[in-house]
A and B are shown apart, each in its own frame.
Chain A
Amino acid sequence: MVLKVMSANQAIAEAVKLANPNVIPVYPITPQTTISEYLAKFVADGDISAEYIRVESEHSAISAALGASGTGVRVFTATSSQGLALMHEIIFATAGLRAPIVMADANRALSAPLSIWNDQQDSISERDSGWMQIYAENGQEALDSILLAYRVSEDHSVLLPSMVCIDGFILTHTVDPVDVPGKEDVDKFLPPYKPDHAYLDPKRPMSIGTFTDPNYYMEARHDIELALEGAKDVIAKANSEFAEIFGRKYDFIEKYRSDDADTIIVAMGSICSTIKDVIDEQRDNGEKVGMVRVRVFRPFPTEEIYDAIKGASNIGVLDKNISFSVGGVLHNEINAKMDVKANGFIVGLGGRDIKPTHISEIIEKTKNTNKTTQWIGLNKEEL
């Protein structure tokens, strides 16, 4: 295995090259831009034969992606923040029309005030769309998740789009050693996409995206719910096969020193690397703390999370998002779906640094379980 040092954006572009999509409609936005640049170069150099469409907006990028997917081919696009917000209308249509598009989202704060820095408000705000969502911790996982996402999205029992989320700048613009798998192994895991369902073919005319009256709409939405829940089995199978071929085993969640922990921190994305360091330090001091990282956020792995945290007396959930007047989304979903009383912590909005001292503060505040939401890392003069 040869490890190459690269950013998560480059790792994602390498994964897309291996997945070999037919159409790539993409519009650049910081901090996603280098993904579209790497892909443009791959196409210009003839490394991949995809049609690269320079569109005039993110709304057009996802619309072109959906139209292309409607012809029954593999499609990739990528965006971030305001771009994802501009896509919102078509994000729902993509899931509704059951198009297995894979998109990378470079997680960035939403305006206003304007910020180009990281939090996860953009993708979390699309959580009700029917898209699957994976939050990667590092560049290797970003690459692998693209391959896993295609495999699951294109499964005929699923046919839902996937969003692979990577923290802006923290992952998109920092470099990590990454194993870029060989094309032969990838082809074994991810054969070419062969739709057997709805697609635009003059030899077999059909209408896609028709007008439904109240007698039909609800069943179509219910089908999405069934497909997303059913995707859990497909994800589990894909994870096992991926591990067999590539030697890296992913799961819905990652448990870190949590089995015997009294206090468990739950979080998503790159911050989990910092949390692991703090947990190692505290374990050295005899503290029974652990972490659960939620990797697959949609479909929501209720059972896996609950099994991992139910033994702990104190649970703290970190959110890089805020549903105003309710709190962090992951925190509220865990308390709503599980028989636990987790504390919530709003952290890192708009790129605010989350330091190891903040994690220690959170662990300390988690020892008093009360379901409240606290903002960590605010400037003192504003409190």
Chain B
Amino acid sequence: MEIPEKEFLAPGHRACAGCGATIGVRLALKMLGENTIAISATGCLEVITTPYPETSWEIPWMHVAF
């Protein structure tokens, strides 16, 4: 299986080195592609990827609550 080079989760986020969540999201987004909207619950993934005014998400992303 070919893994696309295009990234949708930008580096520079606040995850710990080797964080499984960001590796999972990064690979999932490569397969889902740009026509994707991500919905995130409150938690580590939200906190490390969207410290306002920055975001790692290069697709539309929304967080509402837990």
If A210-B51, A213-B52 touch, does A205 touch B64 (CB 8 Å cutoff)? Answer: no
Is there contact, CB below 8 Å, between B64 and A67? yes
**Chain A residues near B53 (CB, 8 Å)?**
210, 216
Is there contact, CB below 8 Å, between A211 and B52? yes
Complex CA gap A204/B59 in Å reads 8
Is there contact, CB below 8 Å, between B65 and A202? no
If A202-B37, A216-B52 touch, does A209 touch B63 (CB 8 Å cutoff)? Answer: yes
Interface residues of A in 57-110 (CB under 8 A from B): 63, 66-67, 70-71, 89-90, 93, 97
Complex CA gap A71/B37 in Å reads 10
**Chain A residues near B59 (CB, 8 Å)?**
202, 205
Q: B51 contacts which of A71, A97, A211 (Cβ < 8 Å)? A: A211
Which single residue of chain A is at the shortest CB-CB distance from B61? A207
Is residue A112 within 8 Å, beta carbon to beta carbon, of the partner chain? no
Is residue A175 within 8 Å, beta carbon to beta carbon, of the partner chain? no
Is there contact, CB below 8 Å, between A67 and B52? no
Is residue A227 within 8 Å, beta carbon to beta carbon, of the partner chain? no
Is there contact, CB below 8 Å, between A211 and B64? no
Is residue B7 within 8 Å, beta carbon to beta carbon, of the partner chain? no
Q: B36 contacts which of A89, A202, A213 (Cβ < 8 Å)? A: A202
Is there contact, CB below 8 Å, between B60 and A205? yes
Complex CA gap A18/B43 in Å reads 40
Is residue A208 within 8 Å, beta carbon to beta carbon, of the partner chain? yes
**Chain B residues near A354 (CB, 8 Å)?**
none
Q: A213 contacts which of B35, B37, B51, B63 (Cβ < 8 Å)? A: B51
Q: B65 contacts which of A71, A93, A206, A216 (Cβ < 8 Å)? A: A93
**Chain A residues near B46 (CB, 8 Å)?**
210-211
Is residue B39 within 8 Å, beta carbon to beta carbon, of the partner chain? yes
If A211-B47, A213-B52, A216-B52 touch, does A90 touch B65 (CB 8 Å cutoff)? Answer: yes
Give A contacts to B, CB under 8 Å: 63, 66-67, 70-71, 89-90, 93, 97, 200-202, 204-213, 216
Give B contacts to A, CB under 8 Å: 34-37, 39, 46-47, 50-53, 55, 57-66
Q: Which 9 A-B pairs have the closest CB atoms?
A: A210-B50, A209-B63, A200-B60, A207-B55, A210-B52, A207-B61, A212-B52, A208-B62, A211-B47
